[in-house]
Chain A
Amino acid sequence: AQSVSQHNHHVILSEAASLELGCNYSYGGTVNLFWYVQYPGQHLQLLLKYFSGDPLVKGIKGFEAEFIKSKFSFNLRKPSVQWSDTAEYFCAVITADRGSTLGRLYFGRGTQLTVWP
């Protein structure tokens, strides 16, 4: 089975600090990559996704992520966080080779981000 690792379980930052959340996956073939966010009391929402092309992808609310194939990584970044970014962030992967399981997402265990005003 594929695995997705998120290195930080809980990150605490002050407003305006820079953010980088790590994500590594184990699959050696073609992948589609996602970051989902869950704000307090809300459901999972897509933050950004990578399917192909430019490995640096930009998402909503100023977030971006970089796919580095050689490192099996898809780290999430934001130059300056806000209090409203407090949420849980999940990295997820779909294996995209022919014959791979259709569309199922493999999730990391999540990183809780707390931003102090």
Chain B
Amino acid sequence: GAGVSQSPRYKVAKRGQDVALRCDPISGHVSLFWYQQALGQGPEFLTYFQNEAQLDKSGLPSDRFFAERPEGSVSTLKIQRTQQEDSAVYLCASSLAGLAGDPYEQYFGPGTRLTVT
């Protein structure tokens, strides 16, 4: 079956531009996560949705970052006025459930590599 898909796969933005990154989770997956992976580092949590509700956005690095999942399926991560430090791979993951202790793994998409010049 189809996995998690993300688009675009690569994005080059000039400093100051706005970007929008899309995530299509696995059908029926309730939970959706966004992570940021800088070069040479492990992924770092940005935000989490359960259906359309954004339950945790504590990882968003600044108010330039905004995420939404209006219908509980597709999600968009938007970065306003991009800066060079935003250059990273942005990973989306989905899961059947998100509660701690639930034995459901997170399935990751291929990521969007954002380069800010």
Binding site for B on A (CB under 8 A): 4, 6, 30, 32, 34, 36, 42-46, 49, 51, 90, 92, 94-97, 100-110
Contacts and interface: CB of A to CB of B under 8 A. Distances in A.
B101 A43 contact: no
Contact of A102 (B40, B50, B93, B111): B50
A74 B114 CA distance: 32
Contacts of A104: 33, 45, 48, 56, 59
Interface stretch (B14-22, B68-76, B79-87, B102-110): B102-110
A38 B31 CA distance: 22
Nearest to A96: B100
Chain B interface main SS type:
loop
Contacts of B105: 34, 46, 49
A103 B111 contact: no
Given A43-B108, A43-B111, A44-B108, A103 B99 contact: yes
Contacts of A32: 100-101
A67 B72 CA distance: 35
B62 interface: no
Given A34-B105, A90-B42, A109-B40, A103 B95 contact: yes
B58 A101 contact: yes
A82 B61 CA distance: 39
A100 to B, nearest CB: 5
Contacts of A30: 101
Among B35, B56, B93, B100, chain A packs the most CB atoms within 10 A around the CB of B100
A103 B109 contact: no
Contacts of A44: 43, 91, 93, 108
B2 interface: no
B108 to A, nearest CB: 4
Nearest to A106: B45
Given A44-B108, A107-B43, A110-B42, 12 more contacts: A43-B4, A43-B108, A43-B110, A45-B108, A49-B105, A90-B43, A100-B100, A103-B97, A104-B33, A104-B48, A108-B42, A109-B40
